[in-house]
Structure formats: C-alpha cells, structure tokens
Structure 1
Amino acid sequence: MASLPLRPSVPQPVPVPVPVPVPYVLALADDLSGAAETACALGGPVRLSLAADVAGSPAAHDLVVDLDTRHLPAATAAGAVRTALRAAQAGPPRLLYKKVDSQLRGHLAAEAAAYAEGAEAVVIAPALPAAGRTVTGGVVHVNGVPLHRTDGWRAERAAAPRSLPEALSGLPVRTVPLDVVRSEPAALEAEFRRIADCGAHPAPDAETDADLDAVAAAALRLGPGFRLLGSGGLALALGRATARPAAAAHPPAPTRDGAPLLFVVGTAEPAAVAQIAHLTALGAHHVTLDPADLAAGTARLPRTAAASSPTVLSIDGSAGLRPRAGRALSAALGALAAAYPGRPDLVLTGGETARTTLDALGTRELEPLGEIHHGAVHSRTPDGRHVVTRPGSYGAEDSLLRIAAALRPRLAPAPAAT
C-alpha cells in the first residue's frame, strides 16, 4: 500500500507567558515629600492623598497616602497606620507598601510594628542607591559612611541608630547578607521564608537598584502575606516589578508664567544655603525669617510680589537648630506661604514644610506629573497650581535652580560661552 506523503513540519508558536496582574498598591508614607516620591516611583495610575480616606479610593489606581505622622507621638503615629490598614480591608485588594525615610528618621519602630500586624513578615529594605544610601551588614550607610557617624540626625532629638535591628527595636529583625540577595531567586525566597517561619522579619542588604529589584521580586513571589517596607528605592523596584499598565501620558500642563514663583525652604540642611545662592545669583528675592518672629506670629511677608523673579522664604538658622520647635515653625512658615499674594506656584523643600503649606491652602490631593530630578516631584493641585515637593536632604547645589528652570524656562541660566 502506498504510503501517504508526510506533511511538512509546521513550527508551533511558543506560548508567551501572560503577566499575572498585580493588585494596585496602597502606600503609606509618614511625610508629604516621601509620599510624592513614592507616587512617582510606582509608575502606574496614581492618586496622592493628603487625607487618609483609603476606603473611598478608586480601585484602578495606586493610592499613596501621606499620614503626616512625623510630628505625632509614636503611639499616635502607629495608630494612624493601623487605622489606614483597617480601612484598606474594606476596599479592593491592594498590595501594601510602607514608605520610610532612608535615614531611618521618624517613628520607624512604632509604625513598622503596627504595619507588621497580620502579616507573615515584613521585608525591610530602606536602601536608596540614587541618593548614596546603602545597607550592608544591616547598617545604613550614607555615601559609604555609617549613618551613626554622619550628621543626618542633627535635627533629631536622639542619636542615629547603629543598625536596622537597633532602629526597629521591639520588632524581631534578621539581616540578609548581600551574597544571599545576589544568589539564585529561589535561595533568596527560601531565606525570607525561613526568617518568617522563625517569627522574624527579613532585612536584606542592598547597594544597587539590582539588589532592590531582587528583593521586591522575591517578596512578590511569596505572596501578599509578605509586605514591603522601604524608601523610594524599593518603591522604584516595586514599580519596575509590577505588571500593570503604565500611567497615561499627562497632557501638557498649562503654564502659569504670569504667576509668582515662591520657594519655601524649611529644611535645616546646610546644602540649602548654597542652593538658595544659585537662585539669588539669578535675581531671586531672598527673605530670611527670624524663628522668634515666626513663633510669635509677627513675621511678615515682603510688601510686593513680583512675578518676574522668584521669591525664596527661609528660616534664619544662625542661632542653631530648634528640634522641639520644628513643627510649629513649619506651620508658621506654611501659613505665610499660603498668604503670599498672586496664587504663586510653589516649591516646597522638607516634608513638614510641604504639608503645612498645603494644609494652610486647604489642598487635600495632588496629581503627580513627574520628577524634575530625583526626589523633586512636580505635581498639580485640583485648582491648577503647580507644586514641587522635595525632601530637605536631597539635591545638589543647583537643585532649586533646576526646579526654577523647569517651572519657568526663561529662568534657565544662559549657556557658558565657549
């Protein structure tokens, strides 16, 4: 019998794995500049709220909430975290993220303990490589120097912790060395699981963005029982790891070139002096406010507000830091900024300064538009005002100048002659 001709071999298509959808994120921050940084880092459709209205948030958005707890007593700050988590349980499933300061400031131990309640484990990774903050041997380093040997806590009431386990006193923490972070994914997952099974929380070392990518991916594979806690660096890693649609491109924001531009510098960072100097060299008007006048309510704004050149408000720090008066001074500075005539666009440095200024304006939500440089987040208020928030410790000497040029291109310095 004649054999049938063989059919030509037809290559079969290789199945393409479909990304598993990841629930939208609920990120809780303890100050506004960190909340804005996280909102940009996540990369998807996002809502940035200054009110803890977690339950009523839209399901198809990441939600970042500024709980504004830095100035509160530790127990009250922990209670705010618990309240937000309870409210979240009534809404759509969300992936939880706790934003913390990369230099471990704020009520880290109390808020982390509240955040850990009900979790299998919390993966703790505060490294922020873009700002020179790394973690090795469970010790936070700033540009290679252990945190407790830097002046990063000079405005705090206590000494900087020597390690993550010390900073998280009361929460059982086990460090994970770099060689494990950089090993096979299954080995890192197994180490996280082993630590969790012992009733502790893993704190992996990280020096690079790739290290944080490995940490975020391992936590996601272990499921929602493993919650993430970290700085903007880990939030960036989470944004890279989640299989969600990118945020729709924002339409060009209408310019407000005729409006004043007001810088409110509430940070005690020494670098702020040089940053302000770059602006004054371009003709910005610098108003230095006496802290005693601010505290007494007798500080006054300049009589004229010129839209042609920026104005900078800052607190005179020549008499030294006043840690216990920080919130009151920020509130007084924010009230002055809110009263500035002409509805200026705002550049707010320092989380407390940003929050108190927007509170004084009655602003309860921001629409993040993008970053001008790392940590300098450009947002828009519901009434169309432009706002840039930036942590006080971020930015090179030209930080404020770059922000000014982004908001008002005519202020960009002319290129040097060759």
Structure 2
Amino acid sequence: MLWHRGGPTGLPEEFSVLLHEEVPVTPGAYVPHVTPQRVLALADDLSGAAETAIALRVPGRLSLGVPTSPGPADASLVMDLDTRQAGPDTAAEAVRDALALTAGHRLLFKKVDSLLRGNVASEAAAFAVGARAVVTATALPVLGRTVRDGIVHLRGAALHTTDAWRAEHRPPPQSVAAVLTGLHTAGVPLCTVRSGVGHLSSHLRDLAEQGRHAVCDAETDDDLDAVAAATLALGPGFRALGCGGLAAAFGRLLVQRAPEADVPSTPRSHSPKRPLLMVVGTAEPTAVAQIAQLTALGAHHFVLPTRDLLDGTCTLPATLAPNGITVLSIGNTPAVTPSSSRRLADALARTAARLSAEGPAPDLVLTGGETARRTLDALGVAELTPLGQVHHGAVLSRTADGRSVVTRPGSFGDTRSLLRIAHALRPAATAHLEGEHL
C-alpha cells in the first residue's frame, strides 16, 4: 500500500509509481519518497501566480513575465503573464510565448480566475495548441466556489445571478463552457468525477480521442484531487486549466512539503527594521474593515483621492516610519470604474514606488493582482521566490534584495486578513493579539 498525506493515495497501481518509490525505514514500515516533478504554470495576474506557486508545492521561481531562459533543469517555473487587462490577442500571444519554455516540464498548468474574469477564452485556446487535450476544473471549494452542471456557483448561487462581476465591462458568463469559446468542450458531471480515478481517466481519454476538452464539475477538494490524478495518469500530452483549487490538488500529488511550509506566526525572514508598506488596490467592501483593524493598532492610513492620484499631487509623508506600518488606499470620489481602474493602479504603484525610494526599502503587502504587478514593475522587481502563505491566497515571497512581499487577490480574505498579515510580518506590533484568533 502506498501512502499520501498520512493515508492511501487511492490511485491505480500503475499511476502510483509515477509519484512514489517505496523506501523501507524499519521492517514492515514504508514511507513514500516523492520525486519533485517539473511544472510550468501560467497565470494572468501576480496574486494568482503567487497563489499557484504555493499551491503547487514545487521548488522553483515566480517570474514577472516570460523569462529569457527556463532556469535550472530541476526547477519549476510559474509566470505572471500580466494579461488580465490586456486585449484577447495580446493575451493569447503571451501564452504562446510562454509555452516555448515547455521542454522538460511534466505538467503544464494554466491558472484562471475562479470567477472566470480575464481573457479566459483566448488564453485557453492558445494553451490548447499542441496538447492532446486540456482538462478544466475551476472550482475553489475553500472560498465556496463550486462547479455543478458546468455552472460556477458562489456559496450556492449561480455566478451569473450574483454581483461578483460588478467591476467588469460585460455580464458574467452563464457557464464555464460559455467562456471557453475557442475549444470544443464536453461537460464531465460529478457522478463521473467521483466514479474512481481509473474510470475518470478513461473518460477523459475518450473525450480527447473525440477532439473534445473536458470541463469537470467539482464541489470538494476530493473532487479536484480525482481530476488532478486522472489528468496526470494520462501523461504530459494532457494539460490542466483551473484556479488555485486545482493547483493545490496537483501539489498534493506531485510533491510533499511538510506542514511547516505555511508561514509561521513569526517568520524567520522578516526584517523589523524595515518599514512595512501596505498598498490596498482592491475595491472590495471588506477592504475598509480590514484597514480599520490596522489603524486601531496605530498604522498610518493615507486615503488617496482618485483625482490627486491621477494628477500625482497626493500628500504623503517624506519618509516611512522605520518600524511603523503605512497603508495606502484609493478614495472613491469620483467612483472607480472599470475604465479608470488600470490608470489608477498605475498611479497607485508610482506613488508607492516614490514613497519607497526614501529611506530603507520597505517590506510590502500588495492586495489585488493589478496593484501588485504595477507596484513591483515600478520598483524594478522581475522575479520572486515564494516562501509560504499567511492564509489562503496571501502569499509571502522574497525579492532578490531581501525584502518581504505579501501578495493577495483583492477578493480574498475576511475582515482580519490584513491584520493577520501584519501579525506575521511584524509580530511585535501585534503581540497583544497573540491569544486572539488571527
């Protein structure tokens, strides 16, 4: 019997050997020796790329853009293609350029937004070129995002009946297949997903032979584990498309990291002498409550009016307090619209970079993929080393010059999200909260 994460893998024997070699420890006792598998993962924004890098649990690097070389032969590579706000043709070209670095990678994974925002259609079509088939599963159970009958649900409500796309230019899609317009798809219902890895794998192979790409229902992590296992069993000709939930399922199969991979309450890597700058670029309603948690601790909060931000006339401190926490957020007068969001993200990034230029380089907390990427571009950061996560989606990385960077999607996290991040990076400032649930 082969064991995985403390229990049997449940995989067919012919697949289990791809993951493990049995290594005797004491007579009659075996533990798995897991060989790391090279993965090439592509994301359309930075927070999603960081989430994917941690979820996959593979040693490697996170590149902001397509690097000039694939890097070490034994390392995996996650790329932020920065295409969420690009045109469809530009997005597809970025995927094609990235796929030129596929040599030696066993798994090719395309990360998409769990709410199906962005250039999903054009990127998926480009990602499918050269593959036997693409297997899609976009559920993210940890956030209550599931797929049944091919329809994305948010805590039980169909995506197209919610306001989750309120900041988008167009209405939300009514199904996953409706987004994948460039692919000949076939839905895979829950009963098939749960029929056993061997049966599911055969079904995916049959669909591929018909020239069809599978779109799998999933409501639980076990469902995603089955999709990941069935996809890997079919070999590198089958590629995977999904969000952080599917990435985590592959991570559970491919490489085992100890539970300590998550960020401890006091990371060894934090530098308390650096300022801590939090740049909140999300328009999510919970952001106000999250910032209020920090200001109650004495954090300095600067609300930047949109007109001043775009004009470059914001009033800011000359330098950041060496041991303090500073928060920048965007005001809502006039209201932020989809057409202005990219310009505001650029302006917010330039403002954060200008504030970072004086005094010690600050550690950074960046919410919203667009904000995170624009800020790091303005600071000249081209690559990150992912280290772990504070909570789901809040990923801690290290820059080449030694600063800590936490990235987090704008829609992730409850009202204590930023407080938990501050506690991880600056435990002394939140020591009195140690006994509370963070």
TM-score (norm 1): 0.91
Q: Is residue 265–residue 349 contact of structure 1 (8 Å, CA) maintained in 2?
A: yes
Offset at 1:411? 2.1
Q: How does 1:178-327 map to 2 (within 5 A)?
A: 178-242=190-254, 253-327=268-342
Alignment-derived partner of residue 121 in structure 1: 133
Letter paired with 1:58:
P
Q: How does 1:106-117 map to 2 (within 5 A)?
A: 106-117=118-129
Q: Tell which structure's C-alpha radius of gyration is larger.
A: 1
Offset at 1:22? 6.4
From 366, 369, 392, give the equivalent of 2:410: 392
RMSD: 2.4
Offset at 1:282? 1.2
Q: Deviations over 1:193-217 (max 9, x none)?
A: 2221221110111111110000000
Cα 1:17–1:183 change in 2 (3 A) is: farther
Q: How does 1:395-410 map to 2 (within 5 A)?
A: 395-410=413-428
Letter paired with 1:265:
V
2:113 equivalent to 1:101: yes
Q: Is residue 115–residue 159 contact of structure 2 (8 Å, CA) maintained in 1?
A: yes
d(CA) in 2 for partners of 1:20, 1:373: 26
Alignment-derived partner of residue 331 in structure 1: 346
Offset at 1:55? 3.2
From 167, 178, 182, give the equivalent of 1:155: 167
Q: Deviations over 1:128-171 (max 9, x none)?
A: 11111111110111111111122211111111111011111232
Q: Is residue 40–residue 105 contact of structure 2 (8 Å, CA) maintained in 1?
A: no
d(CA) in 1 for partners of 2:255, 2:199: 23
d(CA) in 2 for partners of 1:253, 1:15: 34
Offset at 1:284? 1.2
Q: Is residue 138–residue 175 contact of structure 1 (8 Å, CA) maintained in 2?
A: yes
Cα 1:362–1:147 change in 2 (3 A) is: same
d(CA) in 1 for partners of 2:277, 2:412: 19
2:396 equivalent to 1:357: no
Question: Which is worse superposed, 318-327 or 227-236?
Answer: 318-327
Alignment-derived partner of residue 15 in structure 2: none
Offset at 1:321? 2.8
Offset at 1:247? 11
Letter paired with 2:432:
A
Q: Deviations over 1:243-294 (max 9, x none)?
A: 5787997996443212211110001111111111111111111111111222
Gapped runs of 5+ residues in structure 1? 1-12
- For the residue of structure 2 that corresponds to 1:353, the secondary structure is helix
Q: Deviations over 1:62-106 (max 9, x none)?
A: 1101111112111000000011112x14x4344201011111011
Q: Is residue 305–residue 333 contact of structure 2 (8 Å, CA) maintained in 1?
A: no
d(CA) in 1 for partners of 2:172, 2:72: 39
Alignment-derived partner of residue 165 in structure 1: 177
Cα 1:294–1:179 change in 2 (3 A) is: same
- For the residue of structure 2 that corresponds to 1:36, the secondary structure is helix
Offset at 1:45? 1.0
2:391 equivalent to 1:379: no
Cα 1:305–1:55 change in 2 (3 A) is: closer
- For the residue of structure 1 that corresponds to 2:324, the secondary structure is coil
From 12, 15, 28, give the equivalent of 2:42: 28
Offset at 1:311? 1.0
Q: Deviations over 1:225-259 (max 9, x none)?
A: 11001101100001111157879979964432122
Q: Is residue 127–residue 233 contact of structure 1 (8 Å, CA) maintained in 2?
A: yes
TM-score (norm 2): 0.87
- For the residue of structure 2 that corresponds to 1:174, the secondary structure is strand
Letter paired with 2:279:
V
Q: Is residue 39–residue 58 contact of structure 2 (8 Å, CA) maintained in 1?
A: no
Q: Is residue 45–residue 246 contact of structure 1 (8 Å, CA) maintained in 2?
A: no
- How many residues were matched structurally? 403
d(CA) in 2 for partners of 1:30, 1:358: 15
Q: Is residue 30–residue 99 contact of structure 1 (8 Å, CA) maintained in 2?
A: yes
Gapped runs of 5+ residues in structure 2? 1-26
